[in-house]
């Protein structure tokens, strides 16, 4: 695999389309700007359910994979309903963030051209498939994006303090750390309204940008303290790890009835 980056190397995003086997120059790319004046309300986007989301052992370790912090999810979290074409099983989670001051927010999706401080991606696979098979079907991956904001009330800061305290142990590319405290996905999401979301057909946001993703982006952000968000760029040294927004090329963006 040829090296690529978000910034500060030869293969930054404008060069991704010319990488080997790349779909990055395609017509259904992600992320996008979500224009709330151009949404199509879709009453079938109901009853989205996440099973096992409170499993306290889902987040067992964190890895610095050279592009972000990620973790393979343990347990059997299944996502169904919400207008998804199949059931999907959660496989991993990772983060996108900005600069070490919040003047440089780092979400991938934007809403009415506003970028949030961070975005979490919960990556799920169509049930019964491996990651390798998942690369060829246009709906074989579903990614769930959650924005993080730093304004207003703050929730569940304790779980985020726990998670981010481990970042110091993975400053080296390729390093991992075990998390000893029980930590669930819902500990991190807090009380985000899972009935209100946007839906569109897109791609992975990193090379090779495979056009196989059903995207769900939740409207309501997770609200955290500024110092928690700033721990990511300050500790990991990766800055502004998001891809610029891509053209819609006529794709509809649907909104759930909420």
Q: Which residues form the interface with ligand SG4 (CB under 6 A)?
A: 65, 67-68, 70, 92, 94, 121, 123, 143, 204-206
Q: How far apart are CA 92 and CA 142, in angstroms?
A: 11
Burial 144-154 (b: 16+ CB within 10 A, else e): bbbbbbbeeeb
Q: Which residue lies nearer to ligand SG4 by CB, 92 or 111?
A: 92
Q: How far apart are CA 211 and CA 72, in angstroms?
A: 22
Contact partner at residue 92 from ligand SG4, Zn ion, none, CB < 5 to 8 Å by partner kind: ligand SG4
Residue 21 region, left (φ>0) first, then alpha (ψ -120 to 50), else beta?
A: left
Contact partner at residue 39 from ligand SG4, Zn ion, none, CB < 5 to 8 Å by partner kind: none
Contact partner at residue 65 from Zn ion, ligand SG4, none, CB < 5 to 8 Å by partner kind: ligand SG4
121 counts as binding Zn ion under rule CB under 5 A: yes
94 catalytic, yes or no? Answer: no
Q: At what angle do helices 226-236 and 157-165 cross, to 10 degrees?
A: 10
Smallest distance, ligand SG4 to C-beta of residue 25, A: 16
Smallest distance, ligand SG4 to C-beta of residue 121, A: 4
Smallest distance, ligand SG4 to C-beta of residue 19, A: 14
Q: Which of 57, 67, 96, 109 is catalytic?
A: 67
Q: Which residue lies nearer to Zn ion by CB, 109 or 121?
A: 121
- Give phi and psi for 125, each to the nearest 5: -115, 145
Q: Which residue lies nearer to Zn ion by CB, 111 or 157?
A: 111
Q: Which residue lies nearer to ligand SG4 by CB, 121 or 231?
A: 121
CA quadruple 234, 240, 241, 242: dihedral, nearest 10 = 150
Q: How far does the chain reach from its first CA to its final CA, in angstroms? A: 42
By CB under 5 A, the count of residues binding Zn ion is 1
Sheet containing 114-115: give its strands across: 33-34, 110-111, 114-115
Catalytic (active-site) positions: 67
Binding site for Zn ion (CB under 5 A): 121
């Amino acid at each position: 695999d040829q090296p690529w980056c978000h910034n500060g190397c030869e293969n930054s995003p404008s060069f991704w389309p010319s990488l080997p086997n790349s779909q990055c120059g395609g017509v259904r790319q992600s992320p996008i700007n979500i224009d709330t004046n151009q949404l199509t309300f879709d009453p079938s986007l109901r009853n989205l359910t996440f099973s096992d989301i409170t499993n306290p052992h889902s987040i067992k370790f964190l890895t610095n994979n050279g592009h972000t912090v990620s973790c393979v999810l343990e347990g059997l979290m299944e996502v169904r309903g919400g207008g998804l074409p199949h059931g999907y099983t959660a496989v991993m989670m990772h983060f996108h963030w900005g600069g070490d001051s919040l003047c440089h927010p780092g979400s991938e999706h934007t809403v009415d051209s506003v970028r949030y401080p961070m975005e979490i991606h919960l990556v799920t696979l169509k049930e019964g498939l491996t990651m390798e098979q998942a690369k060829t079907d246009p709906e074989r991956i579903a990614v769930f994006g959650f924005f993080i904001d730093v304004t207003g009330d703050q929730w569940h800061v304790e779980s985020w303090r726990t998670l981010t305290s481990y970042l110091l142990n993975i400053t080296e590319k390729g390093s991992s750390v075990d998390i000893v405290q029980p930590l669930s996905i819902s500990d991190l999401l807090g009380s985000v309204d899972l009935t209100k979301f946007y839906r569109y057909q897109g791609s992975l946001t990193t090379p090779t940008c495979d056009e196989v993703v059903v995207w769900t982006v939740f409207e309501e952000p997770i609200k955290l303290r500024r110092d928690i968000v700033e721990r990511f760029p300050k500790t990991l040294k990766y800055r502004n790890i998001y891809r610029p927004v891509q053209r819609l090329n006529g794709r509809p963006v649907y909104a759930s009835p909420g």
